[in-house]
Every structure is written in C-alpha cells, then in structure tokens.
Amino acid sequence: MSLSFEINSRSGNARGGRLITPHAEIETPVFMPVGTVASVKGVPQDTLEELGAQIILGNTYHLYLRPGVDTVRKLGGLHGFMSWRRAILTDSGGFQVFSLNELRKVSEEGVTFRSHLDGSSHFFSPESAMEAQIGLGADIIMAFDECTEYPADQARMRASMEMTARWAARSKKYFEEHKSEVPWGAASEIPTLAAKIAARMAHPPSLSHAGSGDATQSLFGIVQGGMDRALRKESAERTIEIGFPGYAIGGLSVGEPRELTREIVESTLEHLPKDKPRDRRGVGTPEEIVEYASLGVDMMDCVLPTRAARHGLLFTSEGKVSIKQARYAQDAGPLDANCGCRVCNRYSRAYLRHLYASNEVLAQVLNTIHNLSFYLDTMRRVRHSISLGEESRFLSSVWSRPKP
C-alpha cells in the first residue's frame, strides 16, 4: 500500500482526513511549503519539522536542471539528498515549462524548452517527466500535463485538454512499468549512498508509514480544460477513467481573474471522486487556502508565504504587515500577538524592521519562518474547525479578515 486516504470528518464540502504516504502520515487539508530546488528558501529542515510541515513540494523542472536527477537519485532521492524524512510531492514540470519558457515547442511527443539558467535545450515527454520524478523519489508525483494559456479559444482549450489526457495515459503506463526504480525502493540499485547518509542521521528517512518494504510512489492525474466548465468535466472524467489514487486541478493561476479560478475549482471538484485526495497547486492567500479547504480541496501549496517574506510582507491574525515601514522602527511589540511561533515569541517588530532595512539575511529567515507558521497554523485551525463540524462558522472561525 503506497498511499491511503481516509476522511474522518466533514463540514459542508470541506473534508478532514488523513493521507498516508510512504514517508509520512499527513492530516488534511494540508498546506505544503514549497522547496523549489530542494530547499524551502532560508529555512533549515529541522525548523520545518518544528513548524509541523508534514509534506513539502519540490519542482521537477528546477531540480531536473539543477542539481540534475542523476545526482538526486544517487543520493537516495530527494529525501536522502535534502535530508527530509517526511513526505515530499513533486509537480509535473508542466507549469514551469509553460510559465518560464516563452519559446517552448509543444508536440504530441512532448515539449522542447530552454533552461532559464543557461538557455540550453531540453525535452520533456510524459515518459521522461516520469523518469525524472521517479529518480527524484517524492512520495507523490504528477502526470505530465500541458498547461493551457489564458485566454484561449474553445478549440485550443479542447485540443490541449485532450493532449493532457493522452499524456496522462502515457504517464501512467511509464510509471507502472518503472515505479520499482524509485531510489528508496526495494529494487533500487543504489542503496549504498542513501544508506550512508541515513546511517548518520539522528532520525533518518524511513518507510515505516508505508508498512512494507515494497512501497512505491503514487502518481496523481491532473485535470485541465482551461476556463470551460464542460471541458473541465470531460477532463475529469477522462482522467478518472485512466485511474489515479489522487487528482490535481491544474492550469489555473495563469492570468485569469481570481473569481474565475474559484468557479472553475468549485465546478471541477464536483466531478472528482469523493474518496480520493484533491490537490490544487498555487493557492494562495491565507483567505484563499481557507476558502479552497471549504470547497473540498485537500492539498494546497503556494510560494506566497515564502516569497512575500523575502519582500517583508508578513501575514498576521490582524492582516498583512509590511515590515519595512518606518512606523515599526521603534515598535517593541511582537509581529503577531496571537502567534506562538519562535519569531513572534522572541523578536520585536522594531528588530524585524531593522533586519529588513539593513538587508540582513536573517530578515528572510525569520520572516519566512513566521509566514510559514502562520499558514500551517491557519490550516491547523481549518482542520480543527472541520473536525467540530462548524459549517456555518467555518470561514469566520479560522480567519479574521484583515482590517480595512
């Protein structure tokens, strides 16, 4: 059993559950911090553990380019490479190929794209994207999809959705034939280096959660279909027909209005199996992660808390704080009096403002720790609220909207 998902409580469309992966048991709905190149920017792994992160995300596109799949695979996959013992999810690479490559060339076979690092040419097919993700060794990986641009006409949205469906079938076929090659798998030919790393870690990555030694990764399908509800429904049906243990809603946050994103997610969710985890990448503000949880999304991630932290934008129970402002220069109070994170427990707004104004690296470190803490804490309160079945008070109980 490489993945199991159980729903323990409901509140309206929201679900509280438990997702069991080879490396960790995850309470859902869950927020997944983004570690693009095998590092959640500025935050050591033990601090992520302290914050309660149960699963983090790596970007296949970035990791494929640097340090390269072969290096990660030889070091035991991402778990061994970055010394992270809990769960990891990698994305398909489709979104990055789309968003970072204006000169990409898409064919039935796959996508030719240029590295944003050095301009070198590369090719991702469903098969090579699977090969990369198997080498990276995340617990949950994604079928290779085409992210449809916005706006797009009906014919383009249909053609793109249909290609994603064909690619999903090819992804699954390759995955089923090669899943035993995962670097932490029983059939892996490279246990030596991984074991060497594990041997000197206080709490090495282990597969205890998966129970058996032949645990493998789990491949999720991705629903596309642009901004057309009927195409989304058809994409969901075709992806479900291929059959995956979980489903992601892709192709959003590509420039469309936020209200439209929400509508598409809501309508797509209706067509996804109720007993399988649903993943929605790139969500969002604290309000949005609460809202998408209320719609029935189980897994979310976003670079917003980490990226905003680097720009001095901090999320608090009383709304957003731009810590660079001079008004905080002599503010002895904590960033967020309602937050129990190690930053709010120890430092003043004046100090955080000084670090930011002085361009000190510690500013990024502390700001990121707080923002992640705020997101993870928000999701914790969402889960608690669901477990109490607090449907009517769902949104208001977990999130005080920012003061105007």
Catalytic residues: 91, 301
Q: Please state, in angstroms and as integers, the Cα–Cα distance from residue 134 to each residue in 69, 92, 131, 138, 145, following that order.
A: 9, 11, 5, 7, 16
- Of 24-32, 34-42, 315-323, 382-390: span binding a second copy (CB under 8 A): 34-42
Report residue 15 CA to chain centroid gap: 18
Identify whether the C-beta of residue 41 lies closer than 8 Å to the C-beta of residue 364: yes
AA identity, residue 24: A
Write down the least CB distance from residue 325 to a second copy, Å. Answer: 14
Residue from 100, 242, 350, 395 touching a second copy (CB under 8 A): that is 350
Q: Please state, in angstroms and as integers, the Cα–Cα distance from residue 56 to each residue in 31, 131, 252, 302, following that order.
A: 8, 20, 20, 11
Binding of a second copy at residue 355 (CB under 8 A)?
Answer: yes
* Per-residue tokens: 82: 């970055």
Cβ proximity to a second copy, 39 vs 99, nearer residue = 39
Write down the least CB distance from residue 184 to a second copy, Å. Answer: 14
Which 245-274 positions form the footprint of a second copy (CB under 8 A)? none
Binding of a second copy at residue 327 (CB under 8 A)?
Answer: no
Write down the least CB distance from residue 193 to a second copy, Å. Answer: 4
Residue from 9, 10, 12, 74 touching a second copy (CB under 8 A): that is 74
Residue from 19, 38, 138, 335 touching a second copy (CB under 8 A): that is 38
Which 278-317 positions form the footprint of a second copy (CB under 8 A)? none
Q: Give the C-alpha separation, 305 to 310, whole Å.
A: 9
Write down the least CB distance from residue 71 to a second copy, Å. Answer: 6
H or E stretch including 129?
Answer: helix 126-136
Residue from 346, 381, 393, 401 touching a second copy (CB under 8 A): that is 346
Residue from 4, 9, 115, 348 touching a second copy (CB under 8 A): that is 348
Binding of a second copy at residue 61 (CB under 8 A)?
Answer: no
SS3 12: coil
Residues in the chain: 404
Residue 348 backbone phi and psi in degrees, to 5 = -95, 160
Residue from 29, 42, 185, 221 touching a second copy (CB under 8 A): that is 42
Binding of a second copy at residue 66 (CB under 8 A)?
Answer: yes
Binding of a second copy at residue 323 (CB under 8 A)?
Answer: no
- Spatial strand order in the sheet of 121-124: 105-106, 111-114, 121-124
Which 130-149 positions form the footprint of a second copy (CB under 8 A)? none
How is 267-332 classified by DSSP, letter by letter?
A: HHHTTS-TTS-EEEET--SHHHHHHHHHHT--EEE-SHHHHHHHTTEEEETTEEEETTSGGGTT--
Which 79-118 positions form the footprint of a second copy (CB under 8 A)? 80-83
Binding of a second copy at residue 37 (CB under 8 A)?
Answer: yes
Q: Please state, in angstroms and as integers, the Cα–Cα distance from residue 108 to each residue in 153, 164, 244, 248, following that order.
A: 19, 10, 22, 22
Residues 196-225: x where in contact with a second copy by CB under 8 A, - otherwise, as a string: xx--xxx-----------------------
Identify whether the C-beta of residue 279 lies closer than 8 Å to the C-beta of residue 298: yes
AA identity, residue 379: M
Binding of a second copy at residue 366 (CB under 8 A)?
Answer: yes
AA identity, residue 265: V
Write down the least CB distance from residue 339 to a second copy, Å. Answer: 11
Residue from 354, 384, 391, 395 touching a second copy (CB under 8 A): that is 354
AA identity, residue 212: S
Give the footprint of a second copy on this chain (CB under 8 A): 37-39, 41-46, 66-67, 71, 74-75, 80-83, 193-194, 196-197, 200-202, 329-330, 332-334, 342, 345-348, 350-351, 354-355, 357-358, 360-362, 364-366
